[in-house]
């Protein structure tokens, strides 16, 4: 195992290696024969390090001196100042962002909820379908009646006058005027009617006809309206006690 070299011997060895004095080398090797190889290694290292110095540059090969612009010497003081400013800016940005994130949103004025009572229409007739409806566990999605509030929907007002026309044809015409396809559900009883609507919206026409002839128009949401005949009230739907679908009219 390699013997650990005392510090004073180490220092002496460096001096001998750097001096390259033959007598000093012999003296060292005779006094510390166990470190002779180490001395040899260090002498070689020092010799190679010293030898790596570039040789003398002949005068002819020295490039002409060209005065340059003032080299940018970044003083340590300047660097500290710039670093300090950058750090302060970072702190400020961090503080601002944290503050912005943690600030609770400004309270909006609380508006008392307005409870509106549905206006009960005593004249509303609830019909029930005479045909038995299969027991449905999941209530089907309710299609909204066609534009229940035409005043808010911005529907165009139309004038339509028909006499002695079939109800189905009249409904299809009304639908086409509003850009809808009208489908009539099975069981719908067609009949001859006469209508005279002046400046009336499509939904109002359908509502009025529904009340008069016992049907409800449902917007299918795909550009079509289905006309469903009204059902008689009093007959429970599927016997489940489920409230009947409210029909327009």
To another protein, the closest distance from the beta carbon of 56 in angstroms equals: 6
Is the Cβ–Cβ distance between 12 and 28 less than 8 Å? yes
To another protein, the closest distance from the beta carbon of 54 in angstroms equals: 4
* Sequence-separated (6 or more) residues with CB below 8 Å from residue 245: 142
Give the residue among 168, 216, 163 at the shortest CA–CA distance from 189: 168
To another protein, the closest distance from the beta carbon of 53 in angstroms equals: 4
DSSP, res 242: B
To another protein, the closest distance from the beta carbon of 68 in angstroms equals: 5
To another protein, the closest distance from the beta carbon of 90 in angstroms equals: 23
Kindly tell me the sign of the dihedral angle through the C-alpha atoms of 16, 20, 24, 29: positive
Binding site for another protein (CB under 8 A): 14, 41-42, 45-46, 48-57, 59, 61-63, 65-71, 73-74
Indicate the residue among 57 and 100 with the shorter CB distance to another protein: 57
Indicate the residue among 49 and 97 with the shorter CB distance to another protein: 49
**164: helix, coil or strand?**
strand
Cα–Cα distance list, 211 to 126, 184, 190, 248 (Å): 11, 16, 15, 8
Indicate the residue among 59 and 199 with the shorter CB distance to another protein: 59
Indicate the residue among 50 and 212 with the shorter CB distance to another protein: 50
Indicate the residue among 65 and 222 with the shorter CB distance to another protein: 65
């Amino acid at each position: 195992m390699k013997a650990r070299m005392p510090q004073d011997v180490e220092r002496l060895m460096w001096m001998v290696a750097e001096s390259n004095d033959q007598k000093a080398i012999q003296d060292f090797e005779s006094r510390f024969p166990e470190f002779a190889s180490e001395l040899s290694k260090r002498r070689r290292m020092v010799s190679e390090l010293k030898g790596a110095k570039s040789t003398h540059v002949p005068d002819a090969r020295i490039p002409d001196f060209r005065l340059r612009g003032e080299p940018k010497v970044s003083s340590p003081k300047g660097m500290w100042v710039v670093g300090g400013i950058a750090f302060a800016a970072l702190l400020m940005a961090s503080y601002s962002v944290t503050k912005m994130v943690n600030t609770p949103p400004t309270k909006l004025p609380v508006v008392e909820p307005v409870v509106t009572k549905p206006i009960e229409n005593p004249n509303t007739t609830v019909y029930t379908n005479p045909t038995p409806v299969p027991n449905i566990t999941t209530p089907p999605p309710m299609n909204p009646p066609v534009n229940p509030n035409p005043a808010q929907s911005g529907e165009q007002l139309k004038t339509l006058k028909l006499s002695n026309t079939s109800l189905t044809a009249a409904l299809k015409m009304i639908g086409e005027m509003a850009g809808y396809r009208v489908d009539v559900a099975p069981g719908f009883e067609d009949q001859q009617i006469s209508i005279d609507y002046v400046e009336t919206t499509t939904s109002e026409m359908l509502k009025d006809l529904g009340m008069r002839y016992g049907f409800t128009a449902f917007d299918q949401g795909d550009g079509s309206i289905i006309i469903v005949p009204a059902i008689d009230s009093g007959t429970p739907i599927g016997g489940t006690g489920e409230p009947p679908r409210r029909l327009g009219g």
